[in-house]
Amino acid sequence: MLRLGRREFDTHEPVIMAIVNRTPDSFYDQGATFRDEPALARVEQAVAEGAAIVDIGGVKAGPGEEVTAEEEARRTVGFVAEVRRRFPDVVISVDTWRAEVGEAVCEAGADLLNDAWGGVDPRLAEVAARYKVGLVCTHAGGAEPRTRPHRVTYDDVMADILKVTVGLAERAVALGVPRESVLIDPGHDFGKNTRHSLEATRRLDEMVATGWPVLVSLSNKDFVGETLDKPVKERVLGTLATTAVSAWLGAQVYRVHEVAETRQVLEMVASIAGHRVPAVARRGLA
């Protein structure tokens, strides 16, 4: 059982996490949800299309202009409070690596801290423990926030992913984060080249076998673009194919831009796997 905020999710229940970027320079939408009203409309649409979680981020993952902790908090804290007011049942996640931002958004009503940079600030897990919120434990290959990988190597990329993510998860629980609210994430593209991310996908069942719920953040990423030689706006099909493989291998939470399309993929895979009955089953019965 995965428990986040007011929500509980069964082991085989796929969960969609919709991306809401509060940045003027996001790689995918170039700041479309930087202002409050478009961002709130995005949340409303995502929830209507089937997202159980919204992931709010105040800093672009890639290199760019410096964003201080104060500016990151300005972009996220008030917005978290407003989403909490308007959508009391949605799970609110905040994508941050900074403990001080984590503290502020938890005060505002966040349910989950998405630590995409792999524990670079160990105090963030302490914040999650203090507020009894969830935590995403990610493998970033030791990379500094907002840097791109350069000639990174691993003897065995999945072995490294398992060591880091399980270690972070166990530390979080030891600190007091509720065990049922901790997830692990292989960190596609973070501290990895394209071949590493493909191998991490291919061996995702090894993460699932640890017993920790697995979150994947695949949406329109560079490893999809390089694999298919497609620019950012032409990566949806590759993303959905990777989503289907990840679902078959047992991942549970999917951080995405395209909510409706992802939901169809996840429902189809769940039905093939026998975890979901078809919405309609008339064929051959008339």
Contacts for 123-129: CB closer than 8 Å, 24+ residues apart: 123/99, 124/96, 124/97, 124/98, 124/99, 125/168, 125/171, 125/172, 125/175, 125/177, 126/99, 126/175, 127/99, 127/102, 127/103, 128/102, 128/172, 128/175, 128/177, 129/172, 129/175, 129/176, 129/177
Tokens linked to 115: 């630590």
Question: Which residues does 250 contact at the CB level (< 8 Å), separation at least 6?
Answer: 204, 205, 208, 214
Given 255, 276, 282, 283, the catalytic residue = 255
The active-site residue, picked from 75, 171, 221, 235, is 221
Is 221 noted as a catalytic residue in this protein? yes
Q: How many Å is the maximal CA-CA distance in the chain?
A: 64
Q: Tokens 């914040």 — which residue? A: 127
Q: Is 283 a catalytic residue?
A: no
- How far, in Å, are 30, 57, 114 from residue 25 at the CA level? 5, 12, 20
Catalytic positions: 221, 255
